[in-house]
Structure 1
Amino acid sequence: MADYYHKIHPVSVGSPAPDNVYGKGRKPSRHEQELPVTAPPQGSLAPLQPPRRKRHGRCCRCLCWTVVVVVVLAVALGATAGILYAVFKPKIPDFHVDRLTVTRFDVNATSQTVTDAFEVEVTATNPNKRIGIYYDGGEVTASFNGTELCRGAFPTLYQGHRSTSSVNTEHA
């Protein structure tokens, strides 16, 4: 098998190449052609090595993986929420005051205060097909033109899908 590497022989600048580089009577093959030897021009810089590729540390890799995991989890959570919204199609329940009765109304002229009590009947309608609503108590406030008239407790109850419930409460 032939040797395809160039043969380099030391030659000083300005001196002719020796005659016996390739042997007696032998001509150089096309792979062994003589290359001219020249010195770099005065004042020129040596050729630069290509820049080394920067290697990223463990911290950078850990940060990148953390960002990828957070993005994947956010996309998965968004897709899950979108699917659940499309399946259940949630709607806000409707509340209507059916009856409001004043059971006590006292005016104290000396202290200029009013004490009152109300009885309220509220109808709650759940328009959802697949969602039941659990009311865990709470508070109901009746106001007129920004002035609070009374406050009372709302009872705990469960309202099934597509149903209507009527609640009676007393407020003082």
Structure 2
Amino acid sequence: MAADYQRIHPVVVVPKSPLRTPPGSILRSNKVEPGGQAQHQIPLRRNVTFSVVPPPPPIKKRSCLCKCICWTISLLILLLFILGATIGILYLVLQPKLPKYSVDNLRITDLTLNFDLSLYVRFNVQITAYNPNKNIGIYYEKGSHLSVWYKDTNLCQGSIPRFYQGYQNKTVLNVTLSGQNQYGRTLLEALQEQQQTGRIPLDLKINEPVSIKLKTLKLMKVKIVGTCKLIVDSLSTNSIISIKASTCNFGIKL
């Protein structure tokens, strides 16, 4: 019989992966050299260099909106400067002055206590308006309001008719004012008591819209507002009332 063959089994050898050392770690060895003393391996360190990259410089961009806003603001400032300079030059050349007003005559045509105890009042007022300007005319427009007050009580009201007042012109206006107050009895008693002193305070308030005419050019509309403080001696009906004192102050309201 033939000799038995020795069976050979294949052996799979798995290679050992080399030991990976993380950066910065220290390798240690327990290898003993002849002589009985263990020899340590010098630690290995890896020097890592980090480089700092500066950020890119910002890109300067001016948006169209920013440019538009800047140009608009600059244009507005320029227009305001031109407008202010024009107004200043016109003021120096024309030297505008406010019109002057005076109350020349005051007459009470009706002062009646009604059955419902309301007081009906009717005044006729003569006002002189003077325009002192040499190159400026005044258009008295619709919507004026005149009123006579006793202390804080409105006695009557009316309006100035529309007209044009030329340069350095003096115009006499006759205006009728009327009104009715519901606290008539109390008001009439207060007026009669004040009349005994011979000095009755009355306020004539004026609110007049006007337009300015410069040569042949009609300019914007403004309002002349003011008050004439009067001291009269009596409130007798159908008789001329003596005005003992009169002080008028007026201004322009845009």
Range class of TM-score, shorter chain: 0.5 to 0.7
SS in 2 for 1:123: strand
Residue in 2 that maps onto 1:123: 128
Residue in 1 that maps onto 2:154: 148
Residue in 2 that maps onto 1:87: 93
How many Å separate the matches in 1 of 2:52 and 2:59?
Answer: 22
Residue in 2 that maps onto 1:97: 103
Residue in 2 that maps onto 1:159: 165
Higher normalized strand content (fraction of residues): 2
Read off the aligned partner of 2:174 and give its amino acid letter.
N
Residue in 2 that maps onto 1:70: 76
RMSD in angstroms over aligned alpha carbons? 2.1
Read off the aligned partner of 2:73 and give its amino acid letter.
V
SS in 1 for 2:175: strand
Q: Could you list the per-position Cα deviations for residues 28-64 of structure 1 after superposition, in whole angstroms to 9, with x for gaps in the alignment?
A: xxxxxxxxxxxxxx55645x48734412122221222
SS in 2 for 1:111: coil
Flag the structure with larger Rg: 2
TM normalised by structure 1 equals: 0.67
Residue in 1 that maps onto 2:117: 112
How many Å separate the matches in 1 of 2:59 and 2:150?
Answer: 74
TM normalised by structure 2 equals: 0.47
Is 1:132 equivalent to 2:137 in the alignment? yes
SS in 1 for 2:73: helix
How many Å separate the matches in 1 of 2:95 and 2:51?
Answer: 76
Tell me which of 62, 65, 69 is aligned to 1:59. Answer: 65
How many Å separate the matches in 1 of 2:146 and 2:110?
Answer: 18
How many Å separate the matches in 2 of 1:49 and 1:152?
Answer: 79
Name stretches of at least 5 consecutive residues in structure 2 with no aligned partner. 1-48, 179-254
Name stretches of at least 5 consecutive residues in structure 1 with no aligned partner. 1-41
How many Å separate the matches in 2 of 1:52 and 1:73?
Answer: 36
Between the two proteins, the alignment pairs up a number of residues equal to 130
Q: Could you list the per-position Cα deviations for residues 73-115 of structure 1 after superposition, in whole angstroms to 9, with x for gaps in the alignment?
A: 111111111112222221111111110111112113x422211
How many Å separate the matches in 2 of 1:97 and 1:65?
Answer: 54
| Pairwise CA distance, 1:155 | 0.8
